[in-house]
Structure 1
Amino acid sequence: MQRRQFLQAALAATSAAALAPQMSFADHHEGHAPFKISLAEWSLHKTLRDKSKNLTNLDFPRVTKEEFGIDAVEYVNQFFADKAKDAKYLAELNQRCDDAGVKSLLIMVDREGRLGDPDDAARTKAVENHYQWVDAAKTLGCHSIRVNAGSKGEYKEQQKLAADGLRRVSEYAKPMGLNVIVENHGGLSSNGAWLAGTIKQVGLDNCGTLPDFGNFKVSNDEMYDRYKGVEELMPYAKAVSAKAHDFDDEGNETATDYFKMMDIVLKHGYHGYVGIEYEGKVLGEYEGIKKTKALLEKVAAAVSAKSLKKAG
Structure 2
Amino acid sequence: MGTGIAAIVASPAILPLFSCDGQQTKADDGKDELFFKISLAEWSLNRAIFSGQLDHLDFPRYAKEKFGINAVEYVNQFFKDKAEDQAYLKEMKSRCDDQGMTSVLIMCDLEGDLGDADVIGRKQAVENHYKWVEAAQFLGCHAIRVNAAGQGTADDVAQRATESLRELASFAQDYGISVVVENHGGYSSNGAWLSKVMRDVGVPNCGTLPDIGNFCVRRSEPLEQTIEAYLATECLEEYDRYKGTEELLPFAKGVSAKTYDFDEQGNESSIDYGRILNLVKDAGFTGYLGIEYEGHNLPADEGIAKTKAMLERLGREMT
Report the TM-score when normalising by structure 1: 0.87
CA-CA distance at 1:298 after TM superposition: 0.7
Name the CA shift for 1:56/1:270 in 2 (closer, same or farther; >3 Å): same
Q: Tell me what 1:230 maps to.
A: 245
Q: Which amino acid aligns with 1:90?
A: L
Structure 2 SS opposite 1:270: coil
CA-CA distance at 1:203 after TM superposition: 1.2
Q: Tell me what 2:178 maps to.
A: 179
Runs of 4+ displaced beyond 6 Å: none
Structure 2 SS opposite 1:176: coil
Find the aligned partners of 2:27 and 2:77 in 1 and give their Cα distance.
32
Q: Tell me what 1:211 maps to.
A: 210
Query: 268, 287, 304: which one pairs with 2:283?
Result: 268
Q: Tell me what 1:37 maps to.
A: 38
Number of residue-to-residue matches in the alignment:
279
Q: Tell me what 1:49 maps to.
A: 50
Q: Tell me what 1:298 maps to.
A: 313
CA-CA distance at 1:148 after TM superposition: 0.2
Q: Which amino acid aligns with 1:30?
A: K
Q: Tell me what 2:254 maps to.
A: 239
CA-CA distance at 1:30 after TM superposition: 3.4
Find the aligned partners of 2:272 and 2:212 in 1 and give their Cα distance.
10
Find the aligned partners of 1:27 and 1:287 in 2 and give their Cα distance.
17
> Which deviations, in whole Å up to 9, do the C-alpha atoms of 1:78-125 show, x marking residues without a partner?
000001001111111111011111110000000000011010000000
CA-CA distance at 1:29 after TM superposition: 3.6
1:195 aligns with 2:194: yes
Q: Which amino acid aligns with 1:178?
A: I
CA-CA distance at 1:32 after TM superposition: 5.2
Task: Give the gaps of 5 or more residues in structure 2.
Answer: 1-24, 220-235
> Which deviations, in whole Å up to 9, do the C-alpha atoms of 1:221-273 show, x marking residues without a partner?
31000000000000000000000000001100011111100100111110111
Name the CA shift for 1:303/1:25 in 2 (closer, same or farther; >3 Å): farther
Find the aligned partners of 1:26 and 1:276 in 2 and give their Cα distance.
14
Structure 2 SS opposite 1:231: helix
Find the aligned partners of 2:34 and 2:176 in 1 and give their Cα distance.
26
Q: Tell me what 2:116 maps to.
A: 117
Report the TM-score when normalising by structure 2: 0.85
Q: Which amino acid aligns with 1:182?
A: V
1:107 aligns with 2:106: yes
CA contact (8 A) 1:25 1:297 kept: no
Q: CA RMSD in A?
A: 1.3
Structure 1 SS opposite 2:249: helix
CA-CA distance at 1:177 after TM superposition: 1.2
Name the CA shift for 1:31/1:143 in 2 (closer, same or farther; >3 Å): farther
Find the aligned partners of 2:137 and 2:175 in 1 and give their Cα distance.
7
CA contact (8 A) 1:72 1:103 kept: yes
Q: Which amino acid aligns with 2:190?
A: N
Find the aligned partners of 1:103 and 1:60 in 2 and give their Cα distance.
12
Q: Tell me what 2:168 maps to.
A: 169
Q: Who wins on radius of gyration, i.e. which is larger?
A: 1
Structure 1 SS opposite 2:248: helix
Find the aligned partners of 1:70 and 1:28 in 2 and give their Cα distance.
9
Q: Tell me what 1:98 maps to.
A: 97
Q: Which amino acid aligns with 2:172?
A: A
CA-CA distance at 1:154 after TM superposition: 1.1
CA-CA distance at 1:26 after TM superposition: 3.3
Q: Which gives a bigger RCO, structure 1 or 2 (Cα 8 Å, sep 6+)?
A: 2
CA-CA distance at 1:28 after TM superposition: 7.8
Structure 2 SS opposite 1:49: helix
